[in-house]
Amino acid sequence: MRFFSWNVNGVRAVARKGFLDWLAQAKPDVLGLQEIKATPDQLGPDLLAEHGYHVLWNPAERKGYSGTALFAREPFEVLATGLGEAQFDDEGRTTITRHQSAGGPVVLINCYFPHGKRDLSRVDYKNTFYARMMVVADALRAQGEHVVIGGDWNTAHQPIDLTNDKANKKTAGFTQPERDALDLWPQAGWIDAWRRLHPEEEKYTWWSNRPGVRERNIGWRIDYHWVAPELWPRVKGAVIHDQVLGSDHCPVELIVDEG
C-alpha cells in the first residue's frame, strides 16, 4: 500500500499545474494533502468530479489558508478531523483516518504542522502543537493501532536535512527549540521512515520560490512519514519524488506491506 503526502501550497493552484494528471499517473493508494487553501465550495468541477478517489476535505475556518485533504482509492474510516482542541483545529491542519492494508489496518494522521514564522513568534505554538500531536498519536498506539504521521512537519531535523545548516540556525524551521521538539519523537520510539532507510542521503522536499533555487537544489527536507514502532516491520520503502513539480514542496511516499 502506497501512502503519499504532499504540501500542494494551494490545491486550486496545483490543479492548474497538472495535479489530476499526476494523480492518474502516480496512482497513490492514499494521498494526504496539506495547505489546500480552499473550501469545497471554492473548488472547480475538475477537483470535485469523480476521479477514482474517496475524498475528505478539512479546510481552515479562515479562507485561503492552511487546510488538509485526504484522497484514497478505497473507502476509509474517519476517526477525527483535528486533535480535539479548538486552538489547534480551526486551521484544518489534521485528518485521522483508518485504512485497510494487506497486513492489517493502518491509521494515517495527515497533518500540516504550523510554521514558526519568520520572526519566530509562533515557535511556542508550533511546539505545543507537536506535543499535543504526540499525545493523540500515542493514545492511538495504546489502543492497538498501527500509526503513521505523514505531512509537512515544517522542521528540518538534522544538518543533513537542509543545504545551508550553519546559515539557518536562527531561521524558523531549524532553530534549536524546534529541533528539540522534533527530537522527542525518536526518543519516544517513532521512526523517520525515509531517514532510517536512507541514512546518508541528502535529499530535499521543499525549496524557496526564489529564482534558480530549486534548479540548484538548495532545499530543506521538512516533509516526513514518522512511523510508530509497531508498524515499522511492515514498512517496505520510502521515496522522495523531487522530480514532481507544481508546488514548492514535492510528494513523499511510504510503502507498507508491499515490495
Phi-psi region of 137 (alpha: psi -120 to 50; beta: other; left: phi over 0): alpha
- The DSSP string of 230-241 is TTGGGEEEEEE-
Q: Is the pLDDT of residue 41 over 70?
A: yes
pLDDT (0 to 100) of residue 49: 81
CA 140 centroid distance within chain: 18
**Full set of structural domains in the chain with CATH:** 2-256 (3.60.10.10)
pLDDT at 217: 97
What confidence tier does 50 reach under pLDDT thresholds 50, 70, 90? confident
Average pLDDT over residues 34-46: 93
Contacts of 135 (CB under 8 A, 6+ apart): none
The answer, yes or no, to whether residue 259 has pLDDT greater than 70, is no
pLDDT at 74 over 90: yes
Q: Are 257 and 11 in contact (CB under 8 A)?
A: no
The model's confidence at residue 202, banded by pLDDT at 50, 70 and 90, is very high
Residue reference for cell 508546488 = 247
pLDDT score at 130: 98
Instruction: Report how far Cα 158 is from the mean position of its chain's Cα atoms.
Output: 18
- Other beta carbons within 10 Å of 140: 19
Which residues, including other chains, have CB under 8 Å from residue 79's CB and lie 6 or more apart? 96, 97, 98, 107, 140
Average pLDDT (223-244) is 98
Report the interhelical angle of 123-142 vs 176-187 (nearest 10°).
10
Report the alpha-carbon distance of residue 67 to residue 57 in Å, rounded. Answer: 8
Look at residues 104, 67, 128, 69 and name the one whose alpha carbon lies nearest to residue 228.
Answer: 104
Task: Give SS3 for 48.
Answer: helix
Confirm whether pTM is higher than 0.95: yes
Catalytic residue annotation: 152
- Looking at the chain, the whole-number percentage of residues with pLDDT higher than 90 is 96
Instruction: Pick the closest to residue 244 from 197, 198, 207 (CA basis).
Output: 207
Predicted confidence (pLDDT) per residue in 147-186, tens digit: 999 999 999 999 999 999 999 999 999 999 999 999 999 9
pLDDT, average across residues 202-220 = 97
Tell me the average pLDDT across 108-120. 97
C-alpha distance from residue 189 to each of 139, 227, 232 (Å) = 14, 9, 10
3-state secondary structure of 154: coil
